[in-house]
A and B are shown apart, each in its own frame.
Chain A
């Protein structure tokens, strides 16, 4: 079901402001080890059945943002520790998408799908959000 979270906007402002000021990196400096970039050599065709090892499975999550409204399949997505996550975000305005708690950020250009690929090494709840709009896209439950 599509969800909208304009209420989240103001709540995230302090966080967003600090990240913008710190160029989105300093905040997460010590946590670099928590996330691992997955080489994108497999390309978009990667799917669980093309590989024998569980590491090669990629959890696909698609998010569309229109008029400050978030459209995604699930509010919270359960993934395993170390499981590859591929988030594709399409926004109608320029913005920046960020996985809170780890050093994962990508620029969003209006109308163009942007993909973030990573895995999370520590169990916990991580929020995926936009900086400018201050929208919570979804939560990742890493178990």
Chain B
């Protein structure tokens, strides 16, 4: 419901026939994968890919490029912070649009195109690096070592905190609320980095975690030997590092998007009103419930798969959690495509005048927004259904390959519970698009 902070119109519900067609397609493909797909693992993760020319690899990895990107991140963050601190708290302030549209939604297309870009531009990483340089410390070395089991759990918590700000927090489109959230966020990130070293960002920064996960569906990857390669996104996804907390991270990403679309619907309104609960409490419970449903259904399904395959390995859900990433990306495209196009343009226009003085510092103030997409509800509905179904297909293919690798001797039907859960996510996504 960020639409209330930054957006105006919302997309029309998708036609029922399209929702049914999408669900049917998802079911058929699931069945085909289960019955006919390969029995030997195909994906080779980070060993795969066709190397880009060495010059490209070297240029991308040169310290000039790295510092240029860091500087870009710092300057952009400083510019936006300036508008957030010194600008007027009006709807013409670009801060909410930058945070909720350009950053949060923009992470997805940019990571698909350029890989895990946020860790290269992350202004907090750069601040920490500069701080360490200034006092001649190695940024990688902190005061303590991060415990081994921490994995992505801090990032999952950070993502939950951000989605709470985006979808639930009272007055979430106003500057004091955004400032307060980011002040706490910056404090936690920098303190963590001082204690645990720059590695903290890999484990705890929600935007890095999001960007790095989505980047696993990019055409661009890095081979085990360090070379930049062009590769099949499914091979890329297969190389996603298995870490504790990965399931929780993807559950937050998928569950929060589900909650966003559910809470924008009239029936959510009615339910909140009948329960008599304060909206913030209802929203918090709803968000937690959506995330918990995804987490519990997924871990339960994986446990069931393991039981059918005769395995008693622990922590198996983290080995399958990468397969939810395409479903997350499908949901994001379906729910935010038009918002991103329309509000993204509006934010670019507003960015030229962060202080509300009539300035045109970036030269974007006079741009005319292209609102063509708002007049194409049929095309938008088709893209929405297509994105959800394609995400589903990529998800089950990724999970299938992982299953035949982990359980080479088991019957292929052992994946049935996981397929059922993914069909549930897909049909749920289509229902939300139909009913919202």
Within 8 A of B (CB), among A121-143: 122-126, 136, 139, 141-143
22 A-B pairs with C-beta separation under 8 A: A6-B273, A7-B273, A10-B170, A10-B280, A11-B279, A14-B171, A18-B5, A21-B88, A22-B90, A27-B91, A29-B92, A30-B349, A31-B8, A75-B266, A100-B4, A101-B9, A123-B375, A124-B10, A124-B12, A125-B10, A126-B10, A136-B266
| Chain B window 228-268, contacts with chain A (Cβ cutoff 8 Å), 1 for yes, 0 for no | 00000000000000000000000000000000000100100
| Chain B window 359-387, contacts with chain A (Cβ cutoff 8 Å), 1 for yes, 0 for no | 00000000001010011010000000000
B contact set with A: CB distance below 8 Å:
1, 4-5, 7-13, 88-92, 170-174, 177, 263, 266, 269-273, 275, 277-280, 282-283, 346, 349, 369, 371, 374-375, 377
By the criterion CB–CB under 8 Å, are A125 and B272 in contact?
A: no
- What residues of A have a CB within 8 angstroms of the CB of B369 in the complex? 30
The smallest beta-carbon distance between B352 and chain A, in angstroms, is 13
By the criterion CB–CB under 8 Å, are B266 and A18 in contact?
A: no
Q: Does A57 contact B (CB under 8 A)?
A: no
By the criterion CB–CB under 8 Å, are A17 and B171 in contact?
A: yes
Determine the distance from Cα of A4 to Cα of B276 in the docked complex, in whole angstroms. Answer: 11
Interchain residue pairs A-B with the least CB separation, the first 4: A101-B8, A7-B272, A124-B9, A10-B279
By the criterion CB–CB under 8 Å, are B273 and A18 in contact?
A: no
- What residues of A have a CB within 8 angstroms of the CB of B170 in the complex? 10, 13-14
Nearest opposing residue in chain B for A123, CB measure = B377
Nearest opposing residue in chain B for A143, CB measure = B12
Q: Say yes or no: A21-B270 contact (C-beta < 8 A), given A30-B349, A143-B377.
A: no
Q: Does A3 contact B (CB under 8 A)?
A: yes
The smallest beta-carbon distance between B5 and chain A, in angstroms, is 5
Q: Say yes or no: A5-B269 contact (C-beta < 8 A), given A10-B280, A11-B4, A122-B375.
A: yes
By the criterion CB–CB under 8 Å, are A8 and B269 in contact?
A: yes
Query: When the two chains form the complex, which single residue of A4, A14, A28, A123 contacts B4, counting CB atoms closer than 8 Å?
Result: A14
- What residues of A have a CB within 8 angstroms of the CB of B277 in the complex? 7
- What residues of A have a CB within 8 angstroms of the CB of B11 in the complex? 124-125
The smallest beta-carbon distance between A16 and chain B, in angstroms, is 9
By the criterion CB–CB under 8 Å, are A18 and B9 in contact?
A: no
Q: Say yes or no: A22-B279 contact (C-beta < 8 A), given A13-B171, A126-B8.
A: no
By the criterion CB–CB under 8 Å, are B269 and A7 in contact?
A: yes
Q: Say yes or no: A14-B172 contact (C-beta < 8 A), given A26-B92, A124-B374.
A: yes
Nearest opposing residue in chain B for A19, CB measure = B91
- What residues of B have a CB within 8 angstroms of the CB of A122 in the complex? 9, 371, 374-375
Determine the distance from Cα of A34 to Cα of B369 in the docked complex, in whole angstroms. Answer: 12
- What residues of B have a CB within 8 angstroms of the CB of A123 in the complex? 12, 374-375, 377
By the criterion CB–CB under 8 Å, are A26 and B8 in contact?
A: no
By the criterion CB–CB under 8 Å, are A14 and B273 in contact?
A: no
By the criterion CB–CB under 8 Å, are B12 and A14 in contact?
A: no
Q: Does A9 contact B (CB under 8 A)?
A: yes
Nearest opposing residue in chain A for B349, CB measure = A30
Determine the distance from Cα of A80 to Cα of B172 in the docked complex, in whole angstroms. Answer: 33
Within 8 A of B (CB), among A20-75: 21-22, 26-31, 34, 75
Determine the distance from Cα of A19 to Cα of B171 in the docked complex, in whole angstroms. Answer: 12
- Given A101-B9, A142-B12, 11 other A-B contacts at CB below 8 A? A13-B170, A14-B4, A15-B5, A18-B5, A18-B91, A18-B173, A19-B91, A22-B90, A27-B92, A101-B7, A122-B374
- What residues of B have a CB within 8 angstroms of the CB of A19 in the complex? 91
Determine the distance from Cα of A12 to Cα of B2 in the docked complex, in whole angstroms. Answer: 10
Determine the distance from Cα of A125 to Cα of B433 in the docked complex, in whole angstroms. Answer: 12
Determine the distance from Cα of A6 to Cα of B275 in the docked complex, in whole angstroms. Answer: 10
Determine the distance from Cα of A126 to Cα of B264 in the docked complex, in whole angstroms. Answer: 11
By the criterion CB–CB under 8 Å, are A21 and B171 in contact?
A: no
Q: Does A76 contact B (CB under 8 A)?
A: yes
The smallest beta-carbon distance between A84 and chain B, in angstroms, is 18
